[in-house]
Amino acid sequence: MPSPRSSTGRAGRRLLALGLAFALSLWPLLAPAHPHGWVDVTVRVLMDEQGRVEALQQRWRLDPFYSLLLLEELQSAEGEAPMEARLDQLGVEIRHNLAPQHYFTHVTQDGEAVELGEVEHFTTLARDGRVELMFRLPLAEPLPLGQAPMRYRIYDPTYYLEVLHEAEGDTPRPDALGVTGADCDTRIIAADPDPAKVAEAASLDREAQAPEGLGRFFAETGEVRCESP
């Protein structure tokens, strides 16, 4: 299976699968095996005055090759709109497609799913040659962490895209997961997929439909643990 932080092959027109399927997409036709692209993510956990989790502030950076293709497509689109406006419209489309899947984000506490709210302050921009998505994903209700830690995973269920925390080499950056508003411990737990799942992902070519839920086996887990006030 190709490295999750490398891309090879020739470019071709293709709609980006599932949550990122927006009309102006181009996607590289890669060699067989999932994933076909990746997203580098940074998460900031926002706490309220009572020390409860109220939102996950996320930044997604699309991989450089896809970002280049996407920016070239936006630039060549008809009309006189500046790039900033075109990126804003792209953000509207991405938000529309990701919202039904809760932005690929799954939050749990003590093994139970935590309900999420509606995204706020969605921004799309281009920086250092990469398209970035930034948004605030609130929880439906503030979540106290005194009794049990909060965990989250961010993944494309079909594993067409691999979502990884910002890293230096194979090690997540210290600022890839942080907390604002409380003194809490954090860690990022690497995925440890069964070899059978690795073989299954490697056997899927670019035209194959991956089984729903495959991506969760390759997802990193972010954990936030806070002491009782």
Q: Work out how many domains the chain is built from and give that number.
A: 1
132-153 exposure pattern, b = at least 16 Cβ within 10 A, e = fewer: bbbbbbbbeeebbbeeebbbbb
Instruction: Calculate what percentage of the chain has a pLDDT beyond 90.
Output: 54
Give the per-residue pLDDT at 207. 55
> Residue 143 domain-assigned?
yes
pLDDT at 13 over 70: no
Is residue 221 domain-resident? yes
Q: How far apart are CA 4 and CA 34, in angstroms?
A: 9
The overall average pLDDT reported for the chain is 82
Residue 5 resides in a domain: no
Q: Name which residue leads in pLDDT, 48 or 209.
A: 48
**Confidence band of 26 (pLDDT split at 50, 70, 90):** very low
pLDDT above 70 (res 176):
yes
What's the pLDDT score for residue 216? 83
Residue 3 included in any domain: no
pLDDT of residue 158: 82
Q: What's the whole-number mean pLDDT along residues 175-190?
A: 95
Spatial separation of the C-alpha atoms in residues 3 and 97, rounded to whole Å? 27
Domain extent for 58: 14-225
In a domain, 1, yes or no: no
The band of 202, judged by pLDDT with boundaries at 50, 70 and 90, is confident
Question: What average pLDDT does range 13-17 have in this prediction?
Answer: 32
Tell me whether residue 189 is in a domain: yes
Residue ranges with strand state E in 65-149:
105-109, 112-113, 120-127, 130-144
6 falls within a domain:
no
Q: What is the pLDDT of residues 116-156, one digit of tens each?
A: 999 988 999 999 999 999 999 999 999 999 889 999 999 98
Question: With a threshold of 0.85, does the pTM exceed it?
Answer: no
Using 50, 70 and 90 to split pLDDT, how confident is the model at 42?
very high
- 61-119: pLDDT as tens digits: 999 988 998 899 898 888 889 999 999 998 998 899 899 999 999 999 999 999 999 99
Within-domain flag for 74: yes
Q: Taking 70 as the threshold, does the pLDDT of residue 7 lie above it? A: no
Measured CA to CA in angstroms, residue 173 lies from 2, 59, 81, 193, 211 at distances of 22, 14, 37, 22, 31
